[in-house]
Amino acid sequence: MAIQTINGISFEMRETHDFTFLHKYGQVFCVFAQNDSGNISFGLDNGKNKYFVKVAGAKTAAALTDTREAVEILKTSASVYTDLAHPHLIRQIEHFAHKDLYAAVFGWSDGECLFDYWNFETYKDNSELSPRERFKNLSCAKRLHAFDAIFDFLTFTELKGYVAVDFYDGSIMYDFRRDIVTICDIDFFRKSPAINDMGENFWGTKRLKSPEEYVGGAVIDTVTNVFTLGALLFHFFGGYTDDEIGKMYRENAFSPCGYERWELSESLYRTALKAVNRDRAHRYDSMTAFYEAWRANQAAQ
């Protein structure tokens, strides 16, 4: 491993790389180097504007994807960000190849990721709450408003003919100062319908994956996305022990929490429960139908 430093910020790489081509966007003020995607990302500030720049092809320390695959994924995702441009999605400005690397440039969005990534030990060892914990400590009204934005974006995704692949809490940022949601990562979204071409290793976290996301050749579509969002609702409005989360990973199966640990109304519990039915035929048949049911029962709460 090698330690590389840019503008006084040090980070670990398998090999150092020349990132000076990024200086056209300003001075680096933060680096996200520990993602397992094979990408490394930078926050840059030119005094007038801030940018978020994602770079694939560099040999990062935590990568689970080889550099060529990382480049191809980022390059392919550029058209997805264009097609799904939306008020709640991070804004793509440009994308380009640079030698063996590929870069995607976005406007900077304030907010904190709702999945802790490499900061688990940081939050464990001090009294500061993680962004995820801070979000869960918000009022139900604020969290429901945030999920309206997520529903809105995934409904739009459906209408544009896309499937949300690998959508999870790590795809979501929350600005605690302004109470604004930003979707920050849709790199693996695909045109609908998609097929599970990876078997049980299909993209996604086991805390949210639907049964079909473990089956090679299975259709991955909006009904799959209904399950994913339903599972996400359980994680943010329900309660789980560490053992229960561990069981989901061991058994490759999401489980809804019991109603006694659910913070919202019984009607919203039943709405979310239908979304995560293991039998696709018994879920909502679209994100639009799920959102309509959720809003109707939310109004009645």
So what's the pLDDT on residue 282?
98
Q: Are residues 6 and 51 in the same domain?
A: yes
Q: In Å, how far are 55, 80, 220, 240 from 165, measured between CA atoms?
A: 20, 12, 8, 24
Q: Of the residues 62, 78, 107, which one is the last residue of a structural domain?
A: 107
Q: Report pTM.
A: 0.93
Cα 150 to Cα 85: distance, rounded to the nearest angstrom: 14
Q: Are residues 69 and 167 in the same domain?
A: no
Q: Of the residues 59, 77, 107, which one is the last residue of a structural domain?
A: 107
Q: Which residues does the chain have with pLDDT short of 70?
A: 117-127, 301
Using one digit for the tens of pLDDT, what is the confidence trace for 130-184? Answer: 899 999 999 999 999 999 999 999 999 999 999 999 999 999 999 999 999 999 9
**For residue 43, which of 35, 33, 98 has the smallest C-alpha distance?**
33
* Residue 255 burial (10 A CB sphere; 0-12, 13-18, 19+): middle
- The CATH number for 8's domain is 3.30.200.20
Q: Are residues 81 and 118 in the same domain?
A: no
So what's the pLDDT on residue 60?
87
* Residue 186 burial (10 A CB sphere; 0-12, 13-18, 19+): buried
**For residue 301, which of 77, 140, 96 has the smallest C-alpha distance?**
140
Structural domain count of the chain: 2
| Cα 46 off chain centre by | 27
Q: Are residues 168 and 209 in the same domain?
A: yes
Q: Are residues 143 and 23 in the same domain?
A: no
Between 266-275 and 222-237, two packed helices, what is the crossing angle to 10 degrees? 140
Q: Are residues 42 and 132 in the same domain?
A: no
So what's the pLDDT on residue 24?
95
Both tokens of residue 162?
């896309």
Q: Of the residues 107, 126, 154, which one is the last residue of a structural domain?
A: 107
Q: Are residues 152 and 255 in the same domain?
A: yes
Q: Are residues 103 and 116 in the same domain?
A: no
Question: Could you tell me the residue range of the domain that residue 206 belongs to?
Answer: 112-299
Residue 63 phi/psi, 5° resolution? -60, 135
Q: Are residues 125 and 98 in the same domain?
A: no
Q: Is the dihedral of CA 67, 85, 144, 139 positive or negative?
A: positive
Cα 181 to Cα 173: distance, rounded to the nearest angstrom: 6
So what's the pLDDT on residue 62?
79
Q: Are residues 82 and 174 in the same domain?
A: no
- The CATH number for 216's domain is 1.10.510.10
Q: Are residues 260 and 290 in the same domain?
A: yes
Q: Are residues 97 and 118 in the same domain?
A: no
